[in-house]
Chain A
Amino acid sequence: MNSGSADQLQVGCERAGTELRVVVSGELDAATEPQLVATATAAMDDAAAETVVLDVTALSFIDSAGLRGLMSCHDHAARRGIPMRLIPGAGVVPQLLALAGVTEWFSY
Chain B
Amino acid sequence: MTVLSDEEVERGRMAAVRRYDVLDSPPDGAFDRITALAARLFEVPISIVSVVDTDRIWFKSHHGVDVDEIPREPGLCASAILQNEPWVLTNAALDPRSVANPLVAAEHGFRFYAGVPLSTHDGFNLGTLCVIDHAPRPVTDEEMASLRDLAAVIMDQLELRLSARRAISLEEQLRHTAESVATTLQASLLPPKMPEVPGLALVARYHAADRAEVGGDFYDAVFDDERCVVVVGDSCGKGTGAAAFAGSARWCLRTVALEKRAPSVTLQRLNAVLAGAAQDQPDKYCTVALAEIRRLANNQAEVKVALGGHPHPLIVRNSGLVEPIGVTGPIVGWRADVEFVDAEATLESGEALVLFTDGLLDILVAPGADATAALQALLASPGGLPAAHIADRLDAQLPVGDFDDDVAFLVVGIQ
Interface residue ranges, A against B (CB under 8 Å): 1-2, 30, 64-65, 67-68, 71-72, 92, 95, 98-102, 105
Check A101 against B329 for contact (C-beta < 8 Å): yes
Q: A39 to B249, alpha carbons, bound, how many Å?
A: 31
Closest residue of chain A to B286 (Cβ to Cβ) is A64
Check A100 against B404 for contact (C-beta < 8 Å): no
Q: A72 to B334, alpha carbons, bound, how many Å?
A: 10
**Could you list 14 examples of A-B contacts with CB < 8 Å?**
A64-B237, A67-B331, A68-B236, A68-B237, A68-B283, A72-B283, A92-B367, A98-B328, A99-B311, A100-B330, A101-B328, A101-B330, A101-B331, A105-B335
Check A99 against B309 for contact (C-beta < 8 Å): yes
On chain B, the residues within 8 Å of A98 by CB distance are: 328
Closest residue of chain A to B282 (Cβ to Cβ) is A72
Selected contact of A102 from candidates B330, B358, B367, B368, CB within 8 Å: B330
Check B404 against A2 for contact (C-beta < 8 Å): yes
With known contacts A72-B283, A95-B367, A99-B309, A65–B328 Cβ distance under 8 A: no
Check B331 against A100 for contact (C-beta < 8 Å): yes
Q: How big is the B interface, by class?
A: 20 to 34
Closest 8 pairs between A and B when the two form their complex, measured CB to CB: A101-B330, A100-B309, A64-B236, A101-B328, A101-B309, A65-B237, A100-B331, A95-B368
Q: A88 to B328, alpha carbons, bound, how many Å?
A: 19
On chain B, the residues within 8 Å of A99 by CB distance are: 309, 311, 328, 358
Say if the beta carbon of B238 comes within 8 Å of chain A: yes
Chain B contact surface mostly: loop
On chain B, the residues within 8 Å of A68 by CB distance are: 236-237, 283, 285
Q: A67 to B285, alpha carbons, bound, how many Å?
A: 10
One digit per residue, 1 when the CB lies within 8 angstroms of any chain A CB and 0 when it does not, for chain B 205-243 equals 000000000000000000000000000001011100000
One digit per residue, 1 when the CB lies within 8 angstroms of any chain A CB and 0 when it does not, for chain B 319-345 equals 000000000111100110000000000
On chain A, the residues within 8 Å of B311 by CB distance are: 99
Q: A65 to B283, alpha carbons, bound, how many Å?
A: 9
Closest residue of chain B to A62 (Cβ to Cβ) is B367
On chain B, the residues within 8 Å of A71 by CB distance are: 334
Q: A100 to B308, alpha carbons, bound, how many Å?
A: 7
On chain A, the residues within 8 Å of B287 by CB distance are: 64, 100
Q: A30 to B237, alpha carbons, bound, how many Å?
A: 6
Check A30 against B238 for contact (C-beta < 8 Å): yes
Interface residue ranges, B against A (CB under 8 Å): 234, 236-238, 283, 285, 287, 307-309, 311, 328-331, 334-335, 358, 367-368, 404
Chain A contact surface mostly: helix
On chain A, the residues within 8 Å of B234 by CB distance are: 64
On chain B, the residues within 8 Å of A67 by CB distance are: 236, 331
Most B CB within 10 A of own CB, among A2, A64, A65, A100:
A64
Selected contact of B404 from candidates A1, A95, A102, CB within 8 Å: A1
Extra inter-chain contacts (5) besides given A72-B283, A100-B287, CB under 8 Å:
A92-B368, A95-B367, A99-B311, A105-B330, A105-B335
Closest residue of chain B to A100 (Cβ to Cβ) is B309
Check B404 against A101 for contact (C-beta < 8 Å): no
On chain A, the residues within 8 Å of B335 by CB distance are: 105
Check B238 against A102 for contact (C-beta < 8 Å): no
Shortest Cβ distance from residue B104 to the other chain A in the assembled complex, whole angstroms: 66
Q: A95 to B404, alpha carbons, bound, how many Å?
A: 19
Q: A1 to B358, alpha carbons, bound, how many Å?
A: 16
Check B309 against A102 for contact (C-beta < 8 Å): yes
With known contacts A30-B237, A65-B236, A101–B307 Cβ distance under 8 A: yes
Shortest Cβ distance from residue B240 to the other chain A in the assembled complex, whole angstroms: 13
Closest residue of chain A to B309 (Cβ to Cβ) is A100
Q: A64 to B245, alpha carbons, bound, how many Å?
A: 14
Check A101 against B236 for contact (C-beta < 8 Å): no
Shortest Cβ distance from residue A60 to the other chain B in the assembled complex, whole angstroms: 10
Shortest Cβ distance from residue A98 to the other chain B in the assembled complex, whole angstroms: 7
Q: A15 to B308, alpha carbons, bound, how many Å?
A: 37
Q: A65 to B307, alpha carbons, bound, how many Å?
A: 19
Shortest Cβ distance from residue B154 to the other chain A in the assembled complex, whole angstroms: 42
Q: A1 to B401, alpha carbons, bound, how many Å?
A: 13
Q: A23 to B234, alpha carbons, bound, how many Å?
A: 29
On chain A, the residues within 8 Å of B329 by CB distance are: 101
On chain A, the residues within 8 Å of B404 by CB distance are: 1-2
With known contacts A64-B287, A95-B368, A102–B331 Cβ distance under 8 A: yes
On chain A, the residues within 8 Å of B309 by CB distance are: 99-102
Closest residue of chain A to B216 (Cβ to Cβ) is A64
Q: A100 to B330, alpha carbons, bound, how many Å?
A: 6
Shortest Cβ distance from residue A65 to the other chain B in the assembled complex, whole angstroms: 5
Q: A67 to B358, alpha carbons, bound, how many Å?
A: 15
Shortest Cβ distance from residue A103 to the other chain B in the assembled complex, whole angstroms: 9
Q: A98 to B327, alpha carbons, bound, how many Å?
A: 11
Q: A19 to B331, alpha carbons, bound, how many Å?
A: 30
